[in-house]
Structure formats: C-alpha cells, structure tokens
A and B are shown apart, each in its own frame.
Chain A
Amino acid sequence: MSSQQITAYVTAMFEIAVANDVLATVEDEMFRLARAYETNEALRGSLGDTSLPIERRQKIVEQLLGGKAHNVTVQLASMLVGTGHVSLLPQVADALVKRASSEKQLEVAEVRTAVALSDAQKTRLVDALAKATGKRVNLKVVVDPSVIGGVVATVGDDVIDDSVRTRLDQVKARL
C-alpha cells in the first residue's frame, strides 16, 4: 500500500512541478526537506503528532519553508502533512528526485559532507563524478556532521567513501 501511495504522490508532485516548470527546484527542495525530516527528531515529532490539528502541522511546514522554498514545494509538503502521510516524506522525495533525474537522463548522486559545498565545488564534483562513473549525475548534497570530514558519494550502486569517519572506523577496527 505504501509503495502505491508513494507512486501516486510522486506522480502527482511530478506533474504539478512540471506544469509549473519548477521540477528541478521542487525536487531539490523536497530532497533537502526530507533529509531535514530524517535528521531532526523534533521536526519529525511535530509533523507526526496526531494530537496536533492538521492545520497546526501544516502551519509548521509553511513557517519552516516560507521564504526559503518555492511555493509549489511548500504546498506539496503541506499536502503530505494534511493527508497524514508525512512519514512517507523521505521515500516520496527520493522517488521524486529519481523520477526527475530519469526524465533528464541523469543518475542521482547523493553526496554527504560535514560542511556545505560551494557552488564551484558542486560543479567540479559533478564533473568528477561523471568522469568517474561514466554517467551524467544529478548532484544532491547532504550536510551530515557524522561524516566528520571528507566526502561520501553514492551514485547508483557505487559508493565512493573518502570520509574521515570511515578512516576513523578503520583505525578503530585495527585497535
């Protein structure tokens, strides 16, 4: 049932974003919102709290994204909260990114770093990953402090891990 729901949501969001000619913006903002939802326990608790009225939870989404995200993104996220399926947000966002990338003949490249990347770094990283994998990539950067330093890039089934966390894990294993 969840798979069908996810597909239905993704199809709807994709069509709405395409119709408004904001697919790239919406899928990127949905991706970042999903990562924030995954890592922020307070946000998960608030949006999933069924004791709060739906209007209140939708207001939280609008306050969170207001002025920072496209209006279509805010409405789509608010729709998920309103239908009581906000817990599907990470899967829906990932599927939307994959669908959007597929439309553009791109492979999703999820990159995790401890600090944010500059635009120049993103551009060079896209080129580097395309060269390394032989695929055009749709770069999605996730700032993840647990990486500590360096980069972990996932392109399809390929994982390029050059993070400080992994090196420390290797040192720990040797210890």
Chain B
Amino acid sequence: MSKRIPTYNIERKKARWGWIFVAPTLIFFSLFSFYPIFNALYTSLFKKKLLSLKPPDFIGLSNYIYLLKSPDFWNSMRATVVFTLGTFVPLLIFSLIFAIFIMSRKRFQNFFQIAYYSPAVLSSVVAAVIWLIIFDPRGLGNQWLNLIMNTPGIDHKWLANSVMVQMSTMLVYFWKYVGYFTIIFIVGLASIPHSIYEAAKIDGANDWKNFWYITLPLLKPTTILVSIISMLQCLRTFSTQYLFTQGGAPLAPINVITLNIYYTAIRDHRIGRASAMSIILFVIMLLFTWVQFKSSRADEISY
C-alpha cells in the first residue's frame, strides 16, 4: 500500500507534523484564553464573592441589570469614552502630521523617529510617576503652561481638578504613544510608490495638492488601522489611572472601566459583578474589532 502511493503517506505524515507544531499553542489558548472568557461569562450570572467558601448563587442577568442601573458603572463608561476619544483624536492627528513632516525632511529622519518613539519604551508606571511630579503644583506642568499662556503664578490643579485630571491622563498617554503611531504612519507613507508623485508633478501638482489628493486617500487603510489600534488600546487603559489615584488624584473622574473591574473584584470581592463588567468590555472591543475587519477588507489598496 505504502509503496504504491508514497505521496499519500508523506502528505499524511506532514499533516500530523502540522498538528504537532500547532498543538502547544492551541492547548495554551484553550486554557488561558477560551476557558477564561467562557468562565467570565458563566461567573457573570452568579453572585460570587472572592475568598468565600459557600457556593455562589445563580442570579441570572441581575449583575448586568445592576450595572446598567448603577451610576458608578455609567461614570466608568463615561470616563472610558471621554478618555478614549480625548486621546485617540489628538494621537491620530499629531502622529499623521509628525509622520508627514518627518518624511518631508532629507536629514535627521532617523533621529526624529527614535526621539518620538522613545517614551513608548519606558514602562507606563515610570511614565506615570514622572508626570505625577511634573503635575505637582510647583512642578514643570504649571511652569510650562504659565509660560505659554503668560499667566505667572497660577496653579492649574493638574491632579486635583476633575476636568484637569482627565486631561492629565490623556496628556500622559498621548506623550507615551504618539511616536509609536508616527512610526506606523511612516511605514504607510513609505509604501506609497514614488512614481505616483512623479506623475503628479508632471501634471503640475504642488505639495498641498499632493497631500490632499494622493497621500491622504492612499493612507486611508493606515489611518483606519491606527485609529482602531489606538482606540482599542485606550479602552484598556489602566496603569496611568491607577498610578494617578495612588498618587492622590480623585478616583471618580478617571475611574475607567478596567480600574473599576479591578477595584470591584479585588477591593470589594464582587467577582460576579466584575465578571459582568469584563464581559461588557469584551463585547465593546469585539464590536470595534469587527469594524476593523470590515473596514480593512473594504479598503484593500493595490498599486
């Protein structure tokens, strides 16, 4: 048998090796991704306390109903949405501008890329503690803002005022990640063939027209990608807000959803309710990812 159709056996052997190579990863994901997400879904239907030995009570959708009626939960949703929108819009605009400006330079391209990217290398805890000191009433934050706005001696309450503390977390996040997205845009820009610009030059287009009619439309896939990645990242923000509240900032304005999950589970020991919140976060992110897939399919560009 094996002598007559040797290819058949080789193919089968190869198929087996394919499974062997994939198996460790597949087992890992079953244990550490799929099981936990189903477990979270299951737990969200129970009234379950951390460290409690008595069996959890099945309460159906009560956790979800409780959350939807809870002002604390809606405050977290508000904080998360405000942070996400307030961070990703400036991130998108500035990283695009930085990328275009850097690419328009003939020298120091590398220097600017490394300089802009460098904060992304620092850990987010380090970033938060640096900015905590900058935002001190006597710190650099007030000195800079007073210099720019010509308002000597005013304390802008970076960490105390509920609006300012939200702006502060956005600023930290913007500072840390703008370089990262600049690099992604630079790659997108570099992939636009030079010949298109040459053709446009022959047709008499200037820099501004080039940007408006060539660069921007062809960058659409990169723009969508950057906005989705940055939005998903912003929705998951945790470290900055956690460190700021540890450093004495008020919790309510920056009590983003991940922080709320953490406190509900670890401080209040309400595992069921925290799981329900996790599932809501998961569903929101799923929607975003679905949008990403849809839009990236529709915008496939070939030169």
| B and A form one assembly | no
| A residues with CB within 8 A of B | none
| B residues with CB within 8 A of A | none
